[in-house]
Amino acid sequence: MAEFQVPLRDMSFVLYELFKADEIWQSLPKLAENVDRETADAILQECSKIAEQEVATIAREGDQVGVSFNNGIVTTAPGYKEAFKTYAQGGWAALGGDPAYGGMGMPKMITALHEEMFCAADISFFLYPSLTSGAGLSLAKHGSEELKQRYLTRIYAGDWAASMCLTESHAGSDLGIIRTKAVPQEDGSYRVTGNKIFITGGEHDLTENIVHLVLAKLPDAPAGPRGISLFLVPKFKVNDDESIGEANNVSCGSIEHKMGINASATCVMNFDDSTGYLVGELNKGLACMFTMMNFERIGVGIQGIGAAVRSYQNALEYAKDRLQGRSMTGAKNPEKEADSIMVHGDVRRMLLNMKALNEGSRALSSYIAMQLDYATYAEGEQQAKGEALSTLMTPLAKAFFTDMGFESTVAGQQVLGGHGFIREWGQEQLVRDVRITQIYEGTNGIQAMDLLVRKVAGSKGALMQVFLDEVNAYISEISSDSNNENMQEFIQPLATATNDLEKLTKFLLEKATDDVNELGGAANDYLHVFGYTAMAYIWAKMAKIALDKQESDDKFYQSKLHTARYFFARLLPRRISLIETAKSGADVLFNIDDELF
């Protein structure tokens, strides 16, 4: 496997040239006191060192050794405890945390790039701090002052980890039918009893305590999702002097043996009259948990980007070194016995697919992160727009980036040929690891339904119109300036794609008035049409910068411009077949009896 290198140059381009992030931070008073460009650069530089030198180097052994389970005790792979200690001591567990409790208060635009670095280095490792950060986010927003002082400060310090306990054997996406119970006690605590499955980081040896956020129902709770509450259940109780107390009847029953992410502990967790504390309001637990789940869904999308970045680096290094065959136009290296496989059109196609999707995904991910920052830190119309766009694009981030991530890891495997199929080269691990990202935190099919049914149809198209209006305003701005004639190769196809997305949205909403199954049948295709169109918008913006710098000797801008042209020529047209499929109707899906399958 190629030695991992964090693409800091491209990250800097996205932050400061594409989105002017430093100007955004200074324009938002709630952020200005915490972050500037110098601080952000120092964070990304230091994080890149840990990702490259501490985490990427343990990924292969972590996959091969995995986690072990013995009589309720989970032991992580060699090097993980040391790497986690380095990560925690650097303060990175607190990167996006509330400064009032020891957090650094960094914007999502920085934490998203930090996540990409570590996911590219090793998804398995980063799942431990990622779930911890997500739990911290939920606790910071919904927890009582007492809970935040006692638990959140230790989470931010990296002393304690956290997990998210939702799923039960009979209740996956349908959380309304969970059976875990919480019985109120006279002292204000609750006794939590039940079993949870697929719990990432439910048990491990990285920290002395693990804080579990557990969904449960009171005995008299309303049926369905309206009766769910959220509880903080620590592995060990905490004494009044903040020291670790007695065990809290929380145990790991087993760990899962999985296709990938083998160094991440995926646990069956048992709660047996465990002491828990209410987070937020009774019967409002799902809303509290969604604070964390929305964070995690975007984070899972970034896992897809990270794996794809690692795949591209592996494939590119291999393709340049691998000698096989000759160019169709004649030998490029006649002094050697063969040319590198870089001379072959199909290899270049796969590499450019990865490059264009990776750079487009990084930029689009940062755009979505920017909307989250506006939603969190801005006011008035700017805050409302950020809220609308981040709401709309959360399912897109999770599903589109992971679908593209899986495509890119498989493409990298194909570039390596037989070497991509064997363990020695490490490429097959990326394929196995990234596959789960399309499944957990809500399968990509559910994300597509969330986008089209809840976000687009649920708002009667209003949320999508916010995005369309922004893109159309950009198209008008560029088109009205005679100095931008060289942008027409990007603006014209972007205008067509945007118009097609708007027409498809109206078409599906109209058809759904007669048959709601039209939405379910078209959801996956619709999400991908939206994904390619949104990425085209961001690629057009990047192309504008590259065109303005094309006279420069900096090969970075030359590469960016070529990649933009490739995206518009070879990847954006994918949406055309997706549109036709989305419009084909739901009858072909539902007019066949189950026994005829």
H or E element in which residue 453 lies: none
Per residue, the 3-state secondary structure of 108-149, as one string, reads HHHHHHHHHHHHHHCHHHHHHHHHHHHHHHHHHHHCCHHHHH
Q: Which tokens hold the place of 233?
A: 């259940």
- In 3D space, the residue among 580, 503, 532 whose CA is nearest the CA of residue 400 turns out to be 532
Specify which residues 236 forms β-bridges with. Answer: 247
Sign of the Cα pseudo-torsion (228, 234, 237, 238, in order): negative
Q: Do the Cβ atoms of 62 and 79 come closer than 8 Å?
A: yes
Q: What angle do CA 50, 356, 483 make, to 5 degrees?
A: 115
Closest CA to 588 of 452, 580, 442: 580
- Does an H or E element contain 328, and which? none
Cα dihedral 543/549/550/555 (nearest 10): -90
Q: Do 158 and 311 touch, CB atoms closer than 8 A?
A: no
- Tell me whether strands 160-165 and 209-217 are parallel, antiparallel or unpaired: parallel
| Rg of the chain (C-alpha set) | 24
Torsions phi, psi of 295, nearest 5? -60, -45
Helical segments of 278-426, H only: 285-321, 345-377, 380-416
C-alpha distances in angstroms, 37 versus 25, 40, 238, 246, 371?
A: 9, 5, 39, 45, 19
> Please, is 33 exposed, middle or buried when counting C-beta atoms within 10 Å of its C-beta (0-12, 13-18, 19+)?
exposed
Placement of tokens 């409002």 in the chain = 284
CA angle 138, 143, 149 (to 5 degrees): 110
Q: What is the DSSP string of 498-529?
A: HHHHHHHHHHHHHHHTT-THHHHHHHHHHHHH
Q: Is 441 a catalytic residue?
A: yes
What is the DSSP secondary structure assignment for residue 152, as one 8-state letter? I
Phi–psi pair at 208, nearest 5 degrees:
-80, -20
Give the other-Cβ count within 10 Å of 504's Cβ.
Answer: 21
Rounded Cα–Cα distance for residues 280 and 291 (Å)? 11
Catalytic residue among 168, 441, 502, 518: 441
Q: Give the catalytic positions in this structure.
A: 441
